[in-house]
C-alpha cells in the first residue's frame, strides 16, 4: 500500500486536524486542499476552492513577494523554516470581507514544495499575539502533525480493511488478487497465500466463469467506475456460495486504472430464503403440489400455446369421494397423510408437460396440454382414477379412496374463456360425475352448464320454499301383514313449486345433500313428523298408537347435535320415544361402523328405534348386521318387484326375511303394489309392508282420517 501514503489527498486528514482555517497551496499559489473551517469562514464549498488561485479569497496577497521569501527558505532542512505572517482582508462568498492574519508555512514532500496558509480571524490573531513565542515552531509542528496524520490514516485503513466483517479484495487491472482480508478467506475457504497472486477463476462456479472477466473489461475501458453483480463461488469444501460483488476502480491523475477494490456480500442464505418463499407462494404447503396461483399462470401459458400450435388443452377437476368421512373417522392428521399419499400417486401418472395442482380441501386440478382429442383427456382421467385403485395403508389403517372427475377441453377458438369459467365448467362436469356414482368421469358439454345453473337456481328456490312454508310432510302407512292394521307411517317430504308443480324428492333431496341445506330440511322434517305423530290416536285391538319413521341423510346421522335435537323435539311434542323410528341406509350406517355404534347406543338408551333402509343393496355384511342390531330391516323394493331374473330375486327375498326372523328383527317390505306380491310376503312370514297397494304418502289430515276409518271397522 506504500503507493497510497504520499498521495496529496491523504493530507486532507491533517488539514482537518488543525485548529484554524487552513489552505494548502503549491509554489504557484494554486489551492490544492482546504479544510472545513476555511469553508465555514468564507462560505465557499471545498470543491469551489480546490484548483483556484489563492487570490480568490486573499486578493491583496503579494503572491510574488511572499513566494520569493518562501523560496529563500527552501532547503533549510536542518531546522524548520519560520512562518511568514501577513495582515490581509479575506473575501467571502457573500461579498463581505474581514481582516485576518495569514501564516505561511512550507514543507517539502519528496522534493515538491507545499505551502500551508493558516488563516485566523481577529480573535485568533489576539490569541496568536499571546502565543507569539511558540509561533516560530509552527512549521515543525505542522510537519509532525502531517506525518502523524498519514500514519493514523494508514492505521485506520488497515483496520477498515483487515477488520472488516465484509469480505474485501484489492486486485490489479487483470483481476489478479493483490490483497484479501480474513473475511474473504473465510467465505471461500482458501488461505491468503492461496489467493494472493491468483484470480477467482479456480474457485468460481463453472457456469459463472466469465462474469468477473466481463466486469473487469468494462472497468478498464472506462465505461463505468463502479459495478455490482452476483455470482457463485465454490467453497473449498465444495459448498456453493452465492455472493453479491461491488467493484470500484481507483485511477491516477491521468485517469488510468491503478487497481480495483471489491466488497463482497455472502447472500447464500438470503437467496435460499427467497427461493423458499417463492416456492411457498406457488406451492401447496401440505402436498408440495402447485397451488392455484401457479396453476393459473401455467393455464395462461397453455392457452397461448394452444393459439400458436392449434392443438387442444384440458382442465380436469378431481374431487375425492367421501373424504370427509376419513376426517370424521380417523381425524384430520390421518386425512392430511392420506392427501399427501394421494398427491404422490397423482404425480407418478402426471405427464412431464402437464401440471397437477391441489385446488383446496380434497379437490385437485390437472392441466393437460398438447392433446389431439377429447379421448386423450379421458385417458388421462382414467389414469388418475387408476392411481387410486389400490387401498392406502399407513399406521395400521387401510383406506379405499375414490374420486369423481369433471373434464373441460378447449381449442384455439375458445381460449377467450377465462380461467374461472374453465374451472367452473370442470366443476359442473365433476358434480355430474358424482351424480352417476363414485369413480366416474364426465366431459363437459354446454348442457351440463345449463343443468348446473338450473340446479343452483333450484337450491336457492328450495331455500326460499323452506322459509316460506312451501314444504310439507306426507305420510305413507305401514301395514301389519298379519292383522292388516296400520302400525306406523313413513314420513316423506313433498315440495309443490308455484311454477314447476310437484318437484320429486329424488330431485331436490340430492341437491340439498350437496349443501348445508340438508340439515335445515332434516330439522324441519323431524319437527313436523314428531308433531304429526303426537296427534295419532291408538288403533286396533291392542290400542297401540302408530309410530312415525323419519329418514336421515348421512350429514344428519353424523351430526353431533342429532341426539340433543331429537330429545328436544319429542319432549316438546310429548311423544313417547318408542313411537319414533329413524331410517338410515346401509351405506350411511356402515360408512363408519364405530361411530354408528356409538350413535345407535345413544338412541337405544332413549328408546328410539332404528330401521336399516334399502337392505340388500348396500354392504349387506352379516357381521355388521349383528353388531348394529336394528329394530327394523326394510327390504328394498327391487326384491319385492324385481325387473329381471325373478326366480333369483325371490330366493334372495326369502333369505332376507328368514334372516330377519332368525335375528328377531322386524322385516318390512317396501314397494308392495299387487295382491300377488302381498301373498308372497305373507307366505314368507314377512312382518310389515308398505306400498301403493294400500296408499301413497298422504298429508297428515288424510292419515288421521285413515286411522279413524280403520278404527271404525
Spacing of C-alpha 505 from chain mean position:
41
CB 503 within 8 A of CB 470: no
Phi–psi pair at 546, nearest 5 degrees:
-65, 150
Of 448, 293, 307, 289, residue with least CA distance to 384: 289
- Other Cβ atoms less than 10 A from the Cβ of 591: the count is 20
Most confident of the following: 318-327, 456-465, 483-492, 553-562: 483-492
**Residue 691 — very low, low, confident or very high, per pLDDT cuts 50/70/90?**
very high
Of 50, 37, 44, 43, residue with least CA distance to 9: 50
**C-alpha span between 257 and 268 (Å, rounded):** 31
**C-alpha span between 414 and 417 (Å, rounded):** 6
pLDDT of res. 76:
40
**Residue 161 — very low, low, confident or very high, per pLDDT cuts 50/70/90?**
low
Class of domain 2-160 as given by CATH? alpha beta
Phi–psi pair at 42, nearest 5 degrees:
-100, -20
At 381-405, the pLDDT tens digits run: 999 999 999 999 887 788 889 999 9
Q: Kind and range of the H or E element at 32?
A: strand 31-34
CB 681 within 8 A of CB 669: yes
Looking only at the bridges linking them, the beta strands covering 31-34 and 21-26 are: antiparallel
Give the residue extent of every domain in the chain. 2-160, 163-271, 284-444, 476-492+527-712
**C-alpha span between 308 and 302 (Å, rounded):** 10
CATH superfamily of 163-271: PAS domain (3.30.450.20)
Class of domain 284-444 as given by CATH? alpha beta
Q: Residue 507 region, left (φ>0) first, then alpha (ψ -120 to 50), else beta?
A: alpha
**Residue 621 — very low, low, confident or very high, per pLDDT cuts 50/70/90?**
low
At 148-159, the pLDDT tens digits run: 655 555 555 555
185 Cβ neighbours under 8 A, 6+ residues apart: 191, 192, 195
At 257-268, the pLDDT tens digits run: 788 888 888 888
| CATH number belonging to domain 476-492+527-712 | 3.20.20.450
Phi–psi pair at 432, nearest 5 degrees:
-65, -35
At 503-535, the pLDDT tens digits run: 899 888 888 887 778 999 999 999 999 999 999
pLDDT of res. 134:
44
Most confident of the following: 244-258, 334-348, 390-404, 630-644: 334-348
Give the bridge partners for 243, in sequence order. Answer: 231, 266
Question: How many helices, marked H, and strands, marked E, lie in the chain?
Answer: 29, 27
pLDDT of res. 338:
92
pLDDT of res. 314:
94
287 Cβ neighbours under 8 A, 6+ residues apart: 339, 340, 343, 358
Phi–psi pair at 99, nearest 5 degrees:
-80, 130
**C-alpha span between 454 and 462 (Å, rounded):** 12
DSSP 19: S
Query: DSSP string covering 441-505, please?
Result: EEE--HHHHHHHHHHHHHHHHHHHHHHHT-EEEEEEEEEETTT--EEEEEEEEEEEETTTEEEPH
**Residue 144 — very low, low, confident or very high, per pLDDT cuts 50/70/90?**
low
**C-alpha span between 130 and 505 (Å, rounded):** 116
pLDDT of res. 527:
96
At 413-435, the pLDDT tens digits run: 765 678 888 999 999 999 889 88
**Fold match, 163-271 / 284-444:** no
C-alpha cell at 576: 313417547
Q: Taking every pair of C-alpha atoms in the chain, what is the biggest distance, in angstroms?
A: 153
pLDDT of res. 480:
93
**C-alpha span between 74 and 110 (Å, rounded):** 13
Mean pLDDT (the chain, rounded): 83
The answer on pLDDT for 692 being more than 90 is: yes
At 164-195, the pLDDT tens digits run: 677 888 888 888 898 888 888 998 999 989 99
Distance (Å) of CA 1 to CA 4, 411, 675: 6, 70, 118
pLDDT of res. 151:
59
Of the listed ranges 151-160, 462-471, 700-709, the one predicted with least confidence: 151-160
Give the bridge partners for 568, in sequence order. Answer: none
The answer on pLDDT for 136 being more than 60 is: no
pLDDT of res. 378:
95
Sole residue written with cell 512549521:
139
Query: DSSP string covering 311-351, please?
Result: -EEEEEEEEEETHHHHHHHH-HHHHHHHHHHHHHHHHHT--
Spacing of C-alpha 426 from chain mean position:
23
C-alpha cell at 60: 491583496
Long-range contacts: 496-501, Cβ < 8 Å, 24+?
Answer: 496/470, 496/472, 497/461, 497/465, 497/470, 498/470
**C-alpha span between 410 and 425 (Å, rounded):** 11
pTM for this prediction: 0.53
Amino acid at each position: 500500500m506504500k503507493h497510497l501514503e504520499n498521495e496529496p489527498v491523504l493530507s486532507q486528514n491533517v488539514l482537518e486536524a488543525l485548529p484554524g482555517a487552513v489552505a494548502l497551496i503549491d509554489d504557484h499559489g494554486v489551492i490544492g486542499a482546504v479544510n472545513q473551517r476555511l469553508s465555514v469562514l468564507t462560505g465557499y464549498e471545498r470543491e469551489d476552492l480546490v484548483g483556484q488561485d489563492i487570490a480568490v479569497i486573499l486578493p491583496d496577497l503579494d503572491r510574488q513577494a511572499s513566494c520569493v521569501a518562501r523560496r529563500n527558505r527552501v532547503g533549510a532542512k536542518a531546522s524548520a523554516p519560520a512562518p511568514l505572517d501577513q495582515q490581509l482582508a479575506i473575501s467571502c462568498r457573500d461579498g463581505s470581507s474581514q481582516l485576518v492574519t495569514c501564516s505561511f508555512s512550507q514543507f517539502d514532500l519528496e522534493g515538491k514544495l507545499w505551502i500551508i496558509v493558516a488563516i485566523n480571524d481577529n480573535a485568533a490573531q489576539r490569541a496568536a499575539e499571546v502565543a507569539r513565542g511558540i509561533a516560530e515552531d509552527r512549521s515543525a509542528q505542522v510537519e509532525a502533525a502531517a506525518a502523524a496524520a498519514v500514519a493514523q490514516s494508514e492505521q485506520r485503513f488497515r483496520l477498515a480493511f483487515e477488520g472488516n466483517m465484509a469480505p474485501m479484495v484489492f486486485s490489479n487491472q487483470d483481476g489478479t488478487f493483490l490483497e484479501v482480508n480474513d473475511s474473504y478467506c473465510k467465505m471461500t475457504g482458501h488461505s491468503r497465500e492461496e489467493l494472493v497472486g491468483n484470480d477467482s477463476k479456480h474457485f468460481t462456479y463453472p457456469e459463472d466463469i466469465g462474469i468477473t472477466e466481463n466486469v473487469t473489461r468494462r472497468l478498464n475501458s472506462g465505461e463505468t467506475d463502479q459495478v455490482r453483480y452476483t455470482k457463485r463461488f465454490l467453497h473449498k469444501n465444495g459448498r456453493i456460495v452465492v455472493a453479491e460483488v461491488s467493484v470500484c476502480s481507483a485511477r491516477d491523475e491521468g485517469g488510468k486504472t491503478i487497481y480495483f477494490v471489491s466488497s463482497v456480500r455472502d447472500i447464500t442464505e438470503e437467496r435460499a430464503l427467497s427461493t423458499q418463499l417463492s416456492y411457498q407462494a406457488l406451492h401447496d404447503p401440505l402436498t408440495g403440489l402447485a397451488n392455484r396461483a401457479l396453476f393459473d399462470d401455467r393455464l395462461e401459458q397453455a392457452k397461448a400455446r394452444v393459439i400458436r400450435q392449434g392443438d387442444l388443452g384440458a382442465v380436469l377437476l378431481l374431487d375425492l369421494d367421501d373424504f370427509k368421512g376419513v376426517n370424521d373417522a380417523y381425524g384430520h392428521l390421518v386425512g392430511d397423510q392420506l392427501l399427501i399419499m394421494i398427491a404422490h400417486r397423482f404425480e407418478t401418472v402426471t405427464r412431464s408437460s402437464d401440471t397437477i395442482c391441489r385446488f383446496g380441501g380434497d379437490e385437485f386440478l390437472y392441466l393437460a396440454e398438447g392433446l389431439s382429442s377429447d379421448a386423450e383427456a379421458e385417458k388421462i382421467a382414467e389414469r388418475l382414477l387408476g392411481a387410486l385403485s389400490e387401498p392406502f395403508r399407513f399406521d395400521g389403517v387401510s383406506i379405499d379412496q375414490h374420486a369423481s372427475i369433471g373434464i373441460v377441453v378447449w381449442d384455439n377458438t375458445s381460449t377467450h374463456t377465462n380461467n374461472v369459467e374453465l374451472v367452473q365448467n370442470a366443476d359442473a362436469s365433476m358434480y355430474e360425475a358424482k351424480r352417476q356414482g363414485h369413480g366416474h368421469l364426465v366431459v363437459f358439454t354446454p348442457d351440463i352448464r345449463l343443468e348446473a345453473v338450473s340446479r343452483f337456481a333450484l337450491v336457492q328456490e328450495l331455500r326460499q320454499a323452506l322459509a316460506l312454508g312451501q314444504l310439507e310432510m306426507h305420510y305413507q302407512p305401514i301395514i301389519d301383514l298379519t292383522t292388516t292394521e296400520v302400525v306406523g307411517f313413513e314420513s316423506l317430504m313433498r315440495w309443490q313449486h308455484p311454477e314447476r308443480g310437484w318437484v320429486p324428492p329424488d330431485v331436490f333431496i340430492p341437491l340439498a345433500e350437496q349443501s348445508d341445506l340438508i340439515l335445515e330440511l332434516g330439522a324441519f322434517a323431524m319437527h313436523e313428523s314428531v308433531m304429526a305423530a303426537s296427534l295419532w290416536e291408538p288403533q286396533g285391538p291392542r290400542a297401540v298408537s302408530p309410530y312415525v319413521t323419519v329418514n336421515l341423510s348421512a350429514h344428519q346421522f353424523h351430526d353431533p347435535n342429532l341426539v340433543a335435537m331429537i330429545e328436544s323435539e319429542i319432549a316438546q311434542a310429548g311423544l313417547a320415544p318408542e313411537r319414533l323410528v329413524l331410517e338410515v341406509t346401509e351405506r350411511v350406517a356402515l360408512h363408519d361402523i364405530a361411530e354408528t355404534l356409538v350413535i345407535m347406543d345413544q338412541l337405544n338408551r332413549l328408546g328410539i328405534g332404528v330401521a336399516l333402509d334399502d337392505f340388500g343393496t348396500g354392504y349387506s355384511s352379516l357381521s355388521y348386521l349383528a353388531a348394529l342390531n336394528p329394530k327394523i330391516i326394510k327390504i328394498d323394493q327391487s326384491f319385492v318387484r324385481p325387473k329381471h331374473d325373478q326366480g333369483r330375486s325371490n330366493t334372495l327375498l326369502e333369505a332376507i326375511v328368514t334372516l330377519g326372523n332368525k335375528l328377531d328383527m322386524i322385516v318390512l317390505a317396501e314397494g308392495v303394489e299387487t295382491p300377488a306380491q302381498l301373498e308372497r310376503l305373507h307366505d314368507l312370514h314377512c312382518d310389515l309392508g308398505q306400498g301403493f297397494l294400500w296408499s301413497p304418502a298422504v298429508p297428515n289430515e288424510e292419515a288421521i282420517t285413515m286411522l279413524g276409518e280403520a278404527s271404525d271397522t
